[in-house]
Amino acid sequence: MTPTWAQLVYLGCAVCFILALKGLAGPRTARAGNLLGAGAAAVAVAVPFAHVDLDHVALILAAIAVGGIVGAVGARRVQMTQMPQLVALFNGVGGGAAALVALLELGHLGPATPGFDLVATAFTVAVGAVSFAGSVVTFAKLQELMTSRPVVFPGLPVLFAVLLLAVLGLAALVVTEASVGWGVALALVGLAAGALLVLPVGGADVPIVISLLNALTGLTVAAGGYVLGNVVLLVAGTLVGASGSFLTLLMARAMGRSVGNILFGALRGGSTLGAGEASDRPVRSAGAEDVAISLGYAERVVVVPGYGLAVAQAQHTLRELVEVLTARGARVDYAIHPVAGRMPGHMNVLLAEAQVPYEQLVEMDDINPDLPHTDVVLVVGANDVVNPAARSNPDAPIYGMPILDVDQARQVVFLKRSMRPGFAGIENELLFDPRTTLLFGDAKESLTRLLAAVKAL
């Protein structure tokens, strides 16, 4: 029986988690919210050592130390471009851990255990295994350890349906017999189902799937908290499950797609196809000096940052260029698409790292009405989020996705490494528009040359 003081501490930790999530809703309070949540988690981990007669304490402490070191080193060393992969890995570890804890707990349960406890245990094993396997596949796609294209084969829908039925059948056996053997079988089938769930998803849709898997992991943690009678796990898991579900729906809406289409669109030929071939169509290109003239004498400039900016780590140079343009009298803002950089908030964090004032970051819905009155739009490493095919081509995989309407600006300048299409694997007709100028090269090198040319005006 958990003593009263420990229950009160757990309740306090749960309240801190809620306040931490609230703090993460804004840039000014995000750091404090993150620290509050981390501190509450540390306290929640420490409390059982004070009131539970634990076995194998040395092994537990060693596991905590190893996990803490690996997590800290990984989080500090990860590049901003690899943040989605890190989220996928951490999420997968959470789902896998929940499944393993449920299997261990299953060994202490018997047929006399209340039915709902066994249902929650079976749910945790199955969904935790799905989340783990799915997260590993999403990591492999984003890290380019495997193709980012949808992986489909004849009979995949049938095989996936069979696996789902097997999951339900094995879960029923776990509930009726409380057998660890059936639990292990359930976990193995769940792993296979998780892999098949994500394989047909194209690279551009993977971040949305990460959010969905994160929500599933939260639900498994909440179910595990119910079985273990731990209010902290129950509240924390519920928060993650609810916030992950909302984020998934919001991201899908930002892409103009349904979650079902994202998960199963490739089976009907409607999902994103991943990176395609470079175009050999003629375009209008220019040097840094020519682009600098357009920027240097523009009164209104909008910058659209994308994944290529993060890859080149050019955010500091971009900020300096914007400062120079502002000093020359131009009004400059950053246009932020909801999924710019492959994750919500990715660009916000990247630009905050470069000390860009938050007031200069303008969301898509707010900046779009201003774009027809903009002299120059500078697109740095973005592609799909400004592709007019989302409005004009019903056959395009991004059709229906809300985009930044940069094609309505007076002039568009693209900074691109090559003519390869974006992550959706389709050409961007805006590149061939007479009002569009391309500046080829690595984003950081191009911005450095552009900065020097603007200063020299």
366-385 pLDDT, tens per residue? 999 999 999 999 999 888 88
More confident residue, 205 or 145: 145
pLDDT (average), residues 449-455? 93
| 125-139, 148-162, 371-385: least confidently modelled range | 148-162
Report the pLDDT value the prediction gives residue 275, as an integer from 0 to 100: 46
Gap between the Cα atoms of 272 and 383, Å rounded: 14
H or E segment to which residue 378 belongs: strand 376-380
Contact residues for 25 (Cβ-Cβ < 8 A; gap 6+): 33
H helical segments located in 178-279: 180-198, 206-228, 231-254, 259-264
Nearest Cα residue to 265 out of 157, 138, 129, 426: 157
List, for residues 249-263, the tens digit of each pLDDT value.
887 776 666 788 778
> Is 70 exceeded by the pLDDT of residue 267?
no
> Is 80 exceeded by the pLDDT of residue 166?
yes
280 assigned to active site: no
Mean pLDDT of the chain: 87
pLDDT exceeding 90 applies to what percent of the chain? 46
Order the strands of the 300-305 sheet from edge to edge.
361-363, 331-336, 300-305, 376-380, 412-416, 436-440
Gap between the Cα atoms of 103 and 187, Å rounded: 9
| 42-56, 228-242, 264-278, 370-384: least confidently modelled range | 264-278
Which of 117, 205, 333, 384 is labelled catalytic? Answer: 384
Report the pLDDT value the prediction gives residue 15, as an integer from 0 to 100: 93
Report the pLDDT value the prediction gives residue 276, as an integer from 0 to 100: 55
Q: Would you state the structure tokens that stand for residue 423, as one six-digit string?
A: 């992550």
Domains of the chain: 78-268 (no CATH), 288-455 (3.40.50.1220)
List, for residues 398-439, the tens digit of each pLDDT value.
777 888 999 999 999 999 888 877 666 678 888 998 999 999
> Is 50 exceeded by the pLDDT of residue 272?
no
Residue 380's DSSP bridge partners are: 305, 415
pLDDT tier for residue 350 given thresholds of 50, 70 and 90: confident
| Residue 302 phi, psi (nearest 5) | -125, 130
Does residue 115 contact residue 176 with C-beta atoms inside 8 Å?
no
On the CB side of 91, CA atoms within 13 Å amount to: 31
Gap between the Cα atoms of 412 and 295, Å rounded: 10
Q: Would you state the structure tokens that stand for residue 88, as one six-digit string?
A: 């996928």
> Is 60 exceeded by the pLDDT of residue 274?
no
> Is 60 exceeded by the pLDDT of residue 273?
no
Gap between the Cα atoms of 108 and 449, Å rounded: 66
Amino acid identity for residue 317 in this structure: T
DSSP character string of 315-335: HHHHHHHHHHHHHTT-EEEEE
User: What crossing angle do the helices spanning 83-106 and 206-228 adopt, rounded to 10°?
Assistant: 30
pTM: 0.77
Report the pLDDT value the prediction gives residue 270, as an integer from 0 to 100: 46
Report the pLDDT value the prediction gives residue 269, as an integer from 0 to 100: 53
> Is 90 exceeded by the pLDDT of residue 453?
yes
pLDDT (average), residues 30-37? 91
